[in-house]
């Protein structure tokens, strides 16, 4: 490459419309041979001279973006009674508030989930047998509510998630019971109330948990226990089949002799003992 070509290349590089480019052109424009004149460039200016300037060209806005923006403005004007609008007010319509937009999305999701919870018809006039009490607790949860809670609780969770799934099920039943107090009976919450009642015999404990939405009411708990007592018991095999069946009875008398012969108590109790044929 000749010295003239080298000079021309530097001048082309200096066509950058800034102070550094203008300074380089002023210094070398009158010099024919840069090598002979021992031209030098400082390190700082050299690095700045070689770096490309950031592009200042603005990308044209897409037509569909303009159309959407104008549609939002027209919709805002048509839905308001005012006949005059400030430029700032219309600009706020385009920019919007991110927090408000997120709240609108949450409200829309809540409306969908509420509809999914209220739509199914649930049997509330009878209880399932004790052996089938907790078989369908996950099937009763609507898919929309289940998917939402999975995204909130289980998504991106590492390790074992069995405990998280149990919490997801209990939270789902709590939400459904809170939304449908009369038209939904949660078998999971009822089972918890029955367990606590049999374990601690505390009406206050059940009422406190019920007020927080984590258990069935004490009235429903007692009602279920009464219905269980009246539920037909399983039928055992008869003695003809080889099964040993023995009845044992005994009596108890309280206050047999009183002054007037009243308030006496006589009780007869009997139990049934069943020994299967092939137990030994």
Residues in CB range of 190: below 8 A, 6 or more apart: 216, 220, 221, 224
CA 70 – CA 15 distance, rounded (Å): 41
Please report which residue ranges of 79-186 form alpha helices under DSSP H.
Answer: 87-95, 98-118, 143-149, 162-179
- Comparing 167 with 79, the larger pLDDT belongs to 167
Which region, left, alpha or beta, applies to residue 211 given φ > 0 means left and ψ of -120 to 50 means alpha? alpha
- Comparing 181 with 43, the larger pLDDT belongs to 181
Q: What mean pLDDT comes out for the span 40-56? A: 61
- What is the chain's mean pLDDT, rounded? 80
Task: Name the nearest CA neighbour of 93 among 74, 119, 65, 117.
Answer: 74
pLDDT of residue 179: 94
For residue 34, is pLDDT > 90?
A: no
**Virtual torsion, Cα 255, 257, 258, 260, nearest 10 deg:** 130
CA 101 – CA 120 distance, rounded (Å): 30
CA 66 – CA 150 distance, rounded (Å): 38
CA 177 – CA 62 distance, rounded (Å): 49
- Reported as a pLDDT band with limits 50, 70 and 90, residue 203 is very high
CA 221 – CA 31 distance, rounded (Å): 103
pLDDT of residue 253: 83
Task: Name the nearest CA neighbour of 272 among 226, 229, 237.
Answer: 237
- Comparing 68 with 195, the larger pLDDT belongs to 195
| 93 in Cβ contact with 79 (< 8 Å) | no
Q: What mean pLDDT comes out for the span 32-57? A: 63
pLDDT in tens, 139-194: 889 999 999 999 998 888 887 788 888 899 999 999 999 999 989 999 999 999 99
Q: What mean pLDDT comes out for the span 69-91? A: 79
Q: Which two tokens stand for residue 255?
A: 């206050």
| 138 in Cβ contact with 173 (< 8 Å) | no
CA 215 – CA 186 distance, rounded (Å): 9
């Amino acid at each position: 490459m000749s010295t003239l070509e080298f000079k021309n290349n530097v001048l082309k590089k200096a066509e950058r419309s800034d102070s550094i480019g203008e300074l380089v052109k002023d210094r070398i424009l009158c010099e024919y041979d840069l090598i002979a004149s021992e031209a030098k460039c400082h390190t700082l200016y050299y690095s700045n001279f070689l770096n490309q300037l950031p592009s200042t060209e603005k990308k044209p806005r897409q037509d569909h973006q303009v159309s959407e923006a104008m549609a939002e403005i027209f919709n805002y004007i048509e839905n308001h009674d005012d006949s005059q609008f400030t430029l700032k007010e219309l600009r706020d319509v385009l920019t919007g508030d991110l927090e408000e937009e997120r709240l609108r999305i949450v409200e829309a999701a809540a409306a969908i989930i509420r509809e999914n919870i209220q739509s199914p018809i649930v049997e509330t006039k009878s209880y399932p047998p004790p052996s089938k009490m907790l078989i369908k607790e996950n099937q009763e949860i609507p898919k929309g509510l289940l998917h939402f809670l999975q995204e909130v609780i289980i998504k991106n969770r590492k390790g074992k998630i069995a405990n998280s799934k149990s919490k997801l099920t209990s939270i789902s039943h709590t939400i459904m019971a809170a939304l449908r107090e009369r038209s939904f009976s949660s078998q999971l919450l009822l089972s918890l109330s029955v367990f606590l009642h049999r374990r601690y015999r505390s009406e206050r404990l059940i009422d406190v948990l019920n007020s927080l939405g984590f258990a069935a009411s004490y009235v429903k708990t007692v009602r279920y226990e009464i219905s269980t007592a009246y539920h037909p018991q399983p039928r055992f095999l008869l003695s003809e089949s080889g099964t040993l069946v023995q009845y044992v009875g005994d009596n108890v008398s309280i206050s047999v002799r009183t002054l007037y012969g009243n308030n006496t108590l006589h009780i007869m109790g009997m139990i049934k003992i069943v020994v299967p044929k092939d137990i030994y």
